[in-house]
Amino acid sequence: MTGLRWGILATGGIAGAFASDLRAAGLDLVAVGSRSQESADAFAATHGIAPDHAHPSYEALVADPDVDIVYVSTPHPMHHANARLALEAGMHVLVEKAFTVNRAEAADLQSLAAERGLLVTEAMWTRYLPQMIRMRELIAEGALGEIRTVSASHTQLLPDDPAHRLNALELGGGALLDLGIYPLSFVWDVLGAPTTIQAAGRLVETGADSEVATVMTHAGGVVSTTFSSSRAAGANTAVILGTKARIEIEPAWSASSRLRLIAPDGTVLEEIGGPLPEGGPRGMQHEAHAAERLVREGRLEGDLMPIADSVAIMGMLDEIRAQIGVRYPSEEEHHG
């Protein structure tokens, strides 16, 4: 098998961005599934998918014999059911972040995929960027010396309409799952699991979080801080401070981010990244290539975004939500 045949489940903005990157990278996008034929047809026409592979339901998409792997791009609360649908149909699955809404759902997908011998992995696309690959190399080489602290933020000025996806609890709304997942996953990537978690947040009238801050400790006493907001736009930076040097990434959650390795006296020792070439993919193709490589090699667990990490990170988010008082309606249904 030279390449996998991709199907996209749902037709929102992130699905369009992913489809464009697949096309620009020369990967094989063959099908789309939506909740309506009209939406599927429009998406197919935009992204060069044959009309007979534009499906009016998610069930029809996962029944398509020409699809090997499904990208799930629905809102967070639907990820679990949609990924389960694809796994039960024998498809490999790439699930948009946040992976699910809680640890229990994530663990269920992990066990189902293992049982079926299929790949399920989280589309934390920034982990696969060349800048982030280089960051890990620098840390492994000891270029930073002893890491003392990691700080990262993700803030955007997003709509405050209570019915908007970002503010509706029934759609998994809130800054944490949509924006905070980036800096929190980044901190986990650099430092591993936290040993202590302290979180503070501000909730809007719908009960969703608009701001979340964390202070955590990790192995060896290393301290991390993160901040996310859906009501204000900031620089969105990530900084790793070491005794020999520091790494600064800005804007951190972008394929055009710039990574700098900086000495304590301010000398820039290395710089990579920056603006992308016109007309090329925006960065989501790296995670697709990685998924294809894992399947080709017969591996069910990735190095850069292991499913075990996704499950554990959802557990960390569960604890943060418990501390700030955010609970989703779907959890009430399951747990009373």
Indicate which CATH number applies to the domain containing 266. 3.30.360.10
Which tokens hold the place of 130?
Answer: 């060349």
Query: How many Cα neighbours within 13 Å face the side chain of 292?
Result: 18
Neighbours of 160 (CB within 10 A): 13
The vertex-217 CA angle with 216 and 223, nearest 5°, equals 85
Place of tokens 């040097």: 245
- What pLDDT is attached to residue 148? 98
Residues 114 and 134 occupy one common structural domain: no
Residues 146 and 63 occupy one common structural domain: no
**12, part of any domain:** yes
Give residues with Cβ within 8 angstroms of 175, minimum separation 6: 166, 208, 209, 210, 211, 212, 228, 229, 230
**Active-site annotation holder among 55, 97, 103, 218:** 97
Residues 138 and 278 occupy one common structural domain: yes
Helices (H), the chain: 13-24, 37-47, 58-62, 76-88, 103-116, 130-141, 175, 181-191, 285-296, 307-324, 329-335
Range of the domain at 16: 5-125
**70, part of any domain:** yes
Nearest to 91 by CA among 104, 79, 101, 82: 82
- What pLDDT is attached to residue 333? 59
Residues 161 and 239 occupy one common structural domain: yes
Q: Which of 125, 148, 181 is the last residue of a domain?
A: 125
Q: What is the CA radius of gyration of the chain?
A: 20
Q: Which of 99, 125, 151 is the last residue of a domain?
A: 125
Contact 287, 27 (CB under 8 A): no
**234, part of any domain:** yes
- Rounded distance, CA 63 to CA 288, Å? 21
Helix (H) or strand (E) holding 234: none
* Mean pLDDT per 10-residue segment, the chain (336 residues): 88 96 96 98 98 98 98 96 98 97 97 98 96 98 98 97 92 95 98 98 97 98 98 97 98 96 98 88 94 95 93 98 94 60
Residues 192 and 106 occupy one common structural domain: no
Tell me the CATH number at 74. Answer: 3.40.50.720
**82, part of any domain:** yes
Q: Which of 79, 106, 125 is the last residue of a domain?
A: 125
Residues 232 and 204 occupy one common structural domain: yes
Residues 214 and 227 occupy one common structural domain: yes
- What pLDDT is attached to residue 280? 79
- What pLDDT is attached to residue 334? 54
**332, part of any domain:** no
Domain count of the fold of the chain:
2
Residues 56 and 135 occupy one common structural domain: no
- Rounded distance, CA 321 to CA 107, Å? 18
Nearest to 32 by CA among 81, 75, 73: 73
- What pLDDT is attached to residue 282? 87
**229, part of any domain:** yes
Q: Greatest CA separation found in the chain?
A: 61
- What pLDDT is attached to residue 267? 98
What's the Cα-to-Cα distance from 228 to each of 95, 150, 186, 211, 321, rounded to whole Å?
A: 22, 15, 13, 6, 13
Q: Is 244 among the residues known to form the active site?
A: no
Residues 30 and 158 occupy one common structural domain: no
